[in-house]
Amino acid sequence: MAVVTMTATTPSPKTSLAKLVLYPKPKPFKIMVLGQSGVGKSALVVRFITRRFIGEYDPSLEKIYAYQTIIDNETVYFEILDSAGDPNESEYANLESNIKWAEAFILMYSVTDKCSFDECHRLKFLINYNKRRRRLASSTKDCMETPVVLVGNKVDQVGDRMVSTDEGQRRSKEIGCVCFHEISVRESIDQVSCMVWSVFRDARRFWRVGSKWSRCGGRPEEVLPSLDRPLPRSISDATPDTVANVTTFYRRFTEVELDEDGGRGIVRSDSTSSSGHSEAGDEFRARASTDSRLPPRPERPRHPPSPRHLPPPVRKMSVSMRGNNANTY
Protein backbone atom coordinates (compact mmCIF):
# COMPACT_ATOMS: atom_id res chain seq x y z
CA MET A 1 0.00 0.00 0.00
CA ALA A 2 1.27 3.50 -0.74
CA VAL A 3 0.58 6.95 0.56
CA VAL A 4 -0.03 9.47 -2.12
CA THR A 5 1.23 12.93 -1.36
CA MET A 6 0.52 15.88 -3.57
CA THR A 7 3.25 18.52 -3.62
CA ALA A 8 2.77 21.60 -5.72
CA THR A 9 5.74 22.51 -7.94
CA THR A 10 6.69 26.08 -8.75
CA PRO A 11 4.14 27.14 -11.36
CA SER A 12 5.75 27.67 -14.73
CA PRO A 13 4.38 30.40 -16.99
CA LYS A 14 2.97 27.82 -19.41
CA THR A 15 1.85 24.94 -17.24
CA SER A 16 0.88 24.53 -13.63
CA LEU A 17 1.30 20.85 -12.89
CA ALA A 18 1.00 19.05 -9.63
CA LYS A 19 3.83 16.62 -9.01
CA LEU A 20 2.75 13.20 -7.82
CA VAL A 21 5.12 11.69 -5.28
CA LEU A 22 4.65 8.12 -4.08
CA TYR A 23 6.04 7.21 -0.68
CA PRO A 24 5.87 3.69 0.73
CA LYS A 25 3.59 3.63 3.75
CA PRO A 26 5.75 3.59 6.88
CA LYS A 27 5.39 0.42 8.92
CA PRO A 28 3.32 1.25 11.98
CA PHE A 29 4.17 0.07 15.46
CA LYS A 30 1.01 -1.70 16.64
CA ILE A 31 0.40 -1.50 20.34
CA MET A 32 -2.65 -2.58 22.31
CA VAL A 33 -3.78 -1.23 25.68
CA LEU A 34 -5.49 -3.92 27.73
CA GLY A 35 -7.10 -3.96 31.15
CA GLN A 36 -10.32 -4.12 33.06
CA SER A 37 -12.98 -1.51 32.49
CA GLY A 38 -12.38 1.79 34.25
CA VAL A 39 -8.64 1.47 34.89
CA GLY A 40 -7.88 4.47 32.67
CA LYS A 41 -6.91 2.99 29.30
CA SER A 42 -8.62 5.66 27.20
CA ALA A 43 -7.32 8.38 29.51
CA LEU A 44 -3.76 7.05 29.05
CA VAL A 45 -3.95 6.95 25.25
CA VAL A 46 -5.54 10.39 24.98
CA ARG A 47 -2.99 11.83 27.39
CA PHE A 48 -0.14 10.36 25.34
CA ILE A 49 -1.47 11.75 22.08
CA THR A 50 -2.98 15.08 23.13
CA ARG A 51 -1.31 15.71 26.52
CA ARG A 52 -4.78 16.37 27.90
CA PHE A 53 -6.68 14.54 30.56
CA ILE A 54 -10.29 13.92 29.63
CA GLY A 55 -12.46 12.71 32.46
CA GLU A 56 -15.09 10.53 30.81
CA TYR A 57 -15.07 8.35 27.72
CA ASP A 58 -17.54 6.03 26.06
CA PRO A 59 -16.66 2.73 27.75
CA SER A 60 -17.79 0.52 24.88
CA LEU A 61 -15.77 2.39 22.32
CA GLU A 62 -12.88 0.44 20.84
CA LYS A 63 -10.62 2.65 18.80
CA ILE A 64 -7.34 2.59 16.93
CA TYR A 65 -5.45 5.86 17.22
CA ALA A 66 -2.75 6.71 14.70
CA TYR A 67 -0.02 8.89 16.13
CA GLN A 68 3.40 9.85 14.92
CA THR A 69 6.22 10.91 17.24
CA ILE A 70 9.97 10.71 17.67
CA ILE A 71 11.50 8.20 20.06
CA ASP A 72 15.27 7.75 20.32
CA ASN A 73 15.80 9.99 17.28
CA GLU A 74 13.57 7.79 15.19
CA THR A 75 10.12 8.60 13.84
CA VAL A 76 7.65 6.06 15.16
CA TYR A 77 4.19 5.61 13.63
CA PHE A 78 2.05 4.35 16.44
CA GLU A 79 -1.19 2.51 15.92
CA ILE A 80 -2.68 2.31 19.39
CA LEU A 81 -5.65 0.07 20.00
CA ASP A 82 -7.64 1.15 23.04
CA SER A 83 -9.53 -2.05 23.77
CA ALA A 84 -12.94 -2.32 25.42
CA GLY A 85 -12.58 -3.12 29.10
CA ASP A 86 -14.90 -6.08 29.68
CA PRO A 87 -15.68 -7.86 26.43
CA ASN A 88 -18.84 -9.96 26.38
CA GLU A 89 -19.07 -13.44 24.84
CA SER A 90 -19.51 -12.18 21.28
CA GLU A 91 -16.57 -9.77 21.60
CA TYR A 92 -14.24 -12.40 22.99
CA ALA A 93 -13.15 -13.69 19.56
CA ASN A 94 -12.53 -10.10 18.62
CA LEU A 95 -10.25 -9.69 21.63
CA GLU A 96 -8.20 -12.70 20.52
CA SER A 97 -7.82 -11.38 16.99
CA ASN A 98 -6.81 -7.98 18.40
CA ILE A 99 -4.13 -9.67 20.48
CA LYS A 100 -2.81 -11.36 17.35
CA TRP A 101 -2.74 -8.00 15.61
CA ALA A 102 -0.63 -6.20 18.21
CA GLU A 103 3.18 -6.19 18.41
CA ALA A 104 3.39 -4.90 21.98
CA PHE A 105 1.01 -4.49 24.91
CA ILE A 106 0.34 -2.13 27.76
CA LEU A 107 -1.36 -4.14 30.46
CA MET A 108 -3.11 -1.78 32.84
CA TYR A 109 -4.71 -1.99 36.26
CA SER A 110 -5.79 0.54 38.83
CA VAL A 111 -3.90 0.54 42.14
CA THR A 112 -7.29 1.25 43.78
CA ASP A 113 -8.89 -1.91 42.40
CA LYS A 114 -7.56 -5.35 43.38
CA CYS A 115 -9.81 -7.09 40.83
CA SER A 116 -8.27 -5.15 37.97
CA PHE A 117 -4.85 -6.19 39.29
CA ASP A 118 -5.82 -9.88 39.33
CA GLU A 119 -7.33 -9.55 35.88
CA CYS A 120 -3.83 -8.79 34.52
CA HIS A 121 -2.85 -12.39 35.28
CA ARG A 122 -5.60 -13.74 33.05
CA LEU A 123 -4.96 -11.21 30.29
CA LYS A 124 -1.24 -11.96 30.22
CA PHE A 125 -2.05 -15.64 29.92
CA LEU A 126 -4.35 -14.83 27.00
CA ILE A 127 -1.59 -12.83 25.31
CA ASN A 128 0.94 -15.65 25.78
CA TYR A 129 -1.52 -18.24 24.53
CA ASN A 130 -2.44 -16.39 21.35
CA LYS A 131 1.05 -15.23 20.54
CA ARG A 132 2.52 -18.69 21.04
CA ARG A 133 -0.12 -20.23 18.82
CA ARG A 134 0.63 -17.67 16.17
CA ARG A 135 4.38 -18.30 16.42
CA LEU A 136 3.85 -22.04 16.05
CA ALA A 137 1.59 -21.53 13.05
CA SER A 138 3.89 -19.08 11.28
CA SER A 139 6.26 -20.45 8.67
CA THR A 140 8.96 -17.88 9.51
CA LYS A 141 11.25 -18.63 12.40
CA ASP A 142 10.10 -15.65 14.41
CA CYS A 143 11.17 -16.41 17.95
CA MET A 144 10.46 -12.97 19.37
CA GLU A 145 8.61 -12.66 22.67
CA THR A 146 5.99 -9.91 22.55
CA PRO A 147 6.83 -7.14 25.04
CA VAL A 148 4.18 -6.47 27.67
CA VAL A 149 4.51 -3.43 29.94
CA LEU A 150 2.60 -3.62 33.21
CA VAL A 151 1.14 -0.30 34.36
CA GLY A 152 -0.52 0.52 37.68
CA ASN A 153 -2.63 3.67 37.30
CA LYS A 154 -4.32 6.15 39.69
CA VAL A 155 -1.49 6.48 42.21
CA ASP A 156 -2.90 9.94 42.97
CA GLN A 157 -5.71 8.25 44.94
CA VAL A 158 -3.37 7.56 47.85
CA GLY A 159 -6.07 6.78 50.44
CA ASP A 160 -7.84 4.27 48.18
CA ARG A 161 -4.77 2.25 47.28
CA MET A 162 -5.29 -1.53 47.39
CA VAL A 163 -2.21 -2.70 45.48
CA SER A 164 1.26 -1.73 46.70
CA THR A 165 4.23 -0.91 44.49
CA ASP A 166 6.01 -4.07 45.70
CA GLU A 167 3.05 -6.24 44.73
CA GLY A 168 3.01 -4.64 41.30
CA GLN A 169 6.71 -5.24 40.78
CA ARG A 170 6.43 -8.82 41.97
CA ARG A 171 3.47 -9.51 39.72
CA SER A 172 5.31 -7.99 36.76
CA LYS A 173 8.13 -10.51 37.25
CA GLU A 174 5.79 -13.42 37.93
CA ILE A 175 3.82 -13.01 34.74
CA GLY A 176 6.84 -12.12 32.62
CA CYS A 177 6.29 -8.47 31.76
CA VAL A 178 9.29 -6.60 30.36
CA CYS A 179 8.88 -3.69 32.77
CA PHE A 180 6.61 -2.11 35.35
CA HIS A 181 5.40 1.47 35.81
CA GLU A 182 3.22 3.15 38.38
CA ILE A 183 1.57 6.29 37.09
CA SER A 184 -1.28 8.70 37.48
CA VAL A 185 -2.75 9.79 34.19
CA ARG A 186 -4.67 12.50 36.00
CA GLU A 187 -1.77 14.17 37.84
CA SER A 188 0.00 17.39 36.88
CA ILE A 189 0.67 17.65 33.20
CA ASP A 190 4.49 17.77 33.14
CA GLN A 191 4.97 14.84 35.42
CA VAL A 192 2.22 12.85 33.80
CA SER A 193 3.23 13.44 30.24
CA CYS A 194 6.69 12.27 31.24
CA MET A 195 5.38 9.15 32.99
CA VAL A 196 2.85 8.34 30.29
CA TRP A 197 5.47 8.95 27.66
CA SER A 198 7.93 6.56 29.29
CA VAL A 199 5.34 3.76 29.22
CA PHE A 200 5.01 3.97 25.44
CA ARG A 201 8.71 4.63 24.96
CA ASP A 202 9.68 1.50 26.91
CA ALA A 203 7.20 -0.64 25.00
CA ARG A 204 8.75 0.58 21.77
CA ARG A 205 12.33 0.11 22.99
CA PHE A 206 11.76 -3.44 24.17
CA TRP A 207 10.01 -4.29 20.93
CA ARG A 208 12.87 -2.80 18.93
CA VAL A 209 15.56 -4.69 20.83
CA GLY A 210 13.52 -7.90 20.60
CA SER A 211 12.87 -7.60 16.88
CA LYS A 212 16.54 -6.91 16.14
CA TRP A 213 17.50 -9.86 18.27
CA SER A 214 15.12 -12.22 16.50
CA ARG A 215 16.08 -10.93 13.05
CA CYS A 216 19.79 -11.58 13.65
CA GLY A 217 19.14 -15.06 14.96
CA GLY A 218 19.71 -14.17 18.61
CA ARG A 219 23.22 -12.79 18.14
CA PRO A 220 23.56 -9.96 20.66
CA GLU A 221 26.51 -8.22 18.95
CA GLU A 222 24.15 -6.71 16.42
CA VAL A 223 21.96 -5.30 19.16
CA LEU A 224 24.83 -3.64 20.98
CA PRO A 225 25.03 -0.33 19.06
CA SER A 226 21.47 0.65 19.98
CA LEU A 227 22.16 0.07 23.67
CA ASP A 228 25.35 2.08 24.07
CA ARG A 229 23.50 4.94 25.73
CA PRO A 230 22.14 4.34 29.25
CA LEU A 231 18.36 4.41 29.20
CA PRO A 232 16.43 6.49 31.75
CA ARG A 233 14.07 4.56 34.01
CA SER A 234 10.97 5.14 36.08
CA ILE A 235 9.63 2.67 38.66
CA SER A 236 10.56 -0.40 36.79
CA ASP A 237 11.80 -3.88 37.57
CA ALA A 238 13.31 -4.60 34.21
CA THR A 239 13.68 -1.57 32.02
CA PRO A 240 15.73 -1.74 28.84
CA ASP A 241 18.73 -1.18 31.17
CA THR A 242 18.36 -4.80 32.07
CA VAL A 243 18.69 -5.73 28.44
CA ALA A 244 21.83 -3.61 28.31
CA ASN A 245 23.12 -5.49 31.33
CA VAL A 246 22.54 -8.76 29.54
CA THR A 247 24.72 -7.58 26.69
CA THR A 248 27.32 -6.28 29.14
CA PHE A 249 27.41 -9.76 30.61
CA TYR A 250 27.91 -11.14 27.13
CA ARG A 251 30.86 -8.81 26.63
CA ARG A 252 32.41 -9.79 29.95
CA PHE A 253 31.99 -13.41 29.05
CA THR A 254 34.01 -12.82 25.89
CA GLU A 255 36.77 -11.20 27.94
CA VAL A 256 36.92 -14.17 30.27
CA GLU A 257 37.27 -16.45 27.28
CA LEU A 258 40.21 -14.40 26.02
CA ASP A 259 41.82 -14.49 29.44
CA GLU A 260 41.56 -18.23 29.60
CA ASP A 261 43.18 -18.50 26.21
CA GLY A 262 46.02 -16.27 27.39
CA GLY A 263 46.57 -18.60 30.30
CA ARG A 264 47.15 -21.53 27.96
CA GLY A 265 48.67 -20.28 24.74
CA ILE A 266 50.16 -16.84 25.32
CA VAL A 267 53.68 -16.39 26.81
CA ARG A 268 53.58 -15.65 30.51
CA SER A 269 56.35 -13.55 32.06
CA ASP A 270 56.86 -15.97 34.99
CA SER A 271 57.73 -18.96 32.77
CA THR A 272 59.64 -17.31 29.92
CA SER A 273 62.88 -19.08 28.97
CA SER A 274 66.06 -17.29 27.81
CA SER A 275 65.19 -17.94 24.17
CA GLY A 276 62.11 -15.85 24.60
CA HIS A 277 59.80 -18.84 24.46
CA SER A 278 57.88 -20.08 27.41
CA GLU A 279 58.21 -23.67 28.51
CA ALA A 280 54.48 -23.89 28.53
CA GLY A 281 54.44 -22.47 25.01
CA ASP A 282 57.03 -24.99 23.77
CA GLU A 283 55.16 -27.80 25.32
CA PHE A 284 52.00 -26.56 23.67
CA ARG A 285 53.69 -26.30 20.27
CA ALA A 286 55.19 -29.77 20.64
CA ARG A 287 51.76 -31.14 21.35
CA ALA A 288 50.24 -29.22 18.47
CA SER A 289 52.90 -30.39 15.96
CA THR A 290 51.62 -32.19 12.85
CA ASP A 291 54.96 -33.44 11.45
CA SER A 292 54.14 -37.02 12.43
CA ARG A 293 56.57 -36.96 15.33
CA LEU A 294 53.87 -37.21 17.89
CA PRO A 295 54.57 -39.84 20.53
CA PRO A 296 52.28 -42.84 20.25
CA ARG A 297 49.26 -42.81 22.45
CA PRO A 298 49.43 -45.17 25.39
CA GLU A 299 47.33 -48.19 24.62
CA ARG A 300 44.16 -48.46 26.55
CA PRO A 301 42.19 -51.71 26.76
CA ARG A 302 38.82 -51.46 25.06
CA HIS A 303 37.11 -53.47 27.70
CA PRO A 304 37.97 -53.69 31.35
CA PRO A 305 39.98 -56.85 32.13
CA SER A 306 37.79 -59.82 32.91
CA PRO A 307 37.29 -60.49 36.61
CA ARG A 308 39.01 -63.89 36.14
CA HIS A 309 42.45 -62.21 35.97
CA LEU A 310 41.89 -60.04 38.97
CA PRO A 311 43.49 -61.17 42.23
CA PRO A 312 40.94 -62.39 44.72
CA PRO A 313 39.82 -59.69 47.13
CA VAL A 314 41.59 -59.77 50.47
CA ARG A 315 39.17 -60.08 53.30
CA LYS A 316 40.17 -58.70 56.62
CA MET A 317 38.37 -59.19 59.84
CA SER A 318 38.38 -56.52 62.42
CA VAL A 319 37.07 -56.77 65.92
CA SER A 320 35.74 -53.61 67.30
CA MET A 321 36.32 -53.00 70.97
CA ARG A 322 33.95 -50.10 70.92
CA GLY A 323 30.23 -50.29 71.34
CA ASN A 324 27.99 -51.61 74.04
CA ASN A 325 30.05 -54.71 74.85
CA ALA A 326 33.39 -52.88 75.13
CA ASN A 327 33.07 -52.41 78.89
CA THR A 328 32.71 -56.13 79.49
CA TYR A 329 36.31 -56.84 78.37
Ligand X SMILES: Nc1nc2c(ncn2[C@@H]2O[C@H](COP(=O)(O)OP(=O)(O)OP(=O)(O)O)[C@@H](O)[C@H]2O)c(=O)[nH]1
Greatest distance between any 2 Cα atoms in the chain: 134
What whole-number distance in Å separates Cα of residue 329 and Cα of residue 327?
6
65 binds ligand X (CB under 6 A): no
DSSP for 97-143 reads HHHHH-SEEEEEEETT-HHHHHHHHHHHHHHHHHHHHHHHH-SS---
Smaller CB separation from ligand X, 198 or 278: 198
**The one among 185, 238, 243, 280 contacting ligand X by CB under 6 A:** 185
Binding mask 237-276 for ligand X (x = CB under 6 A): ----------------------------------------
Site size with ligand X, rule: CB under 6 A: 21
Binding mask 146-175 for ligand X (x = CB under 6 A): -------xx-xx------------------
- Cβ burial 140-173 (10 Å sphere, 16+ → b, else e): eeeebebbbbbbbbbbeeeeeeebeeeebbebbe
Say if residues 174 and 125 touch (Cβ distance below 8 Å).
no
Rounded to the nearest whole angstrom, what is the least distance from the CB of residue 107 to ligand X in the complex? Answer: 12
What whole-number distance in Å separates Cα of residue 113 and Cα of residue 90?
26
Residue 255 Cα to chain centre, angstroms: 24
* Interface region with ligand X, contact rule CB under 6 A, candidates 37-45, 64-72, 271-279, 311-319: 37-45
Rounded to the nearest whole angstrom, what is the least distance from the CB of residue 88 to ligand X in the complex? Answer: 13
* Phi, psi for 326 (deg, rounded to 5): -60, -35
Rounded to the nearest whole angstrom, what is the least distance from the CB of residue 118 to ligand X in the complex? Answer: 16
Rounded to the nearest whole angstrom, what is the least distance from the CB of residue 122 to ligand X in the complex? Answer: 15
Rounded to the nearest whole angstrom, what is the least distance from the CB of residue 186 to ligand X in the complex? Answer: 3
Binding site for ligand X (CB under 6 A): 35, 37-43, 55-57, 59, 84-85, 153-154, 156-157, 184-186
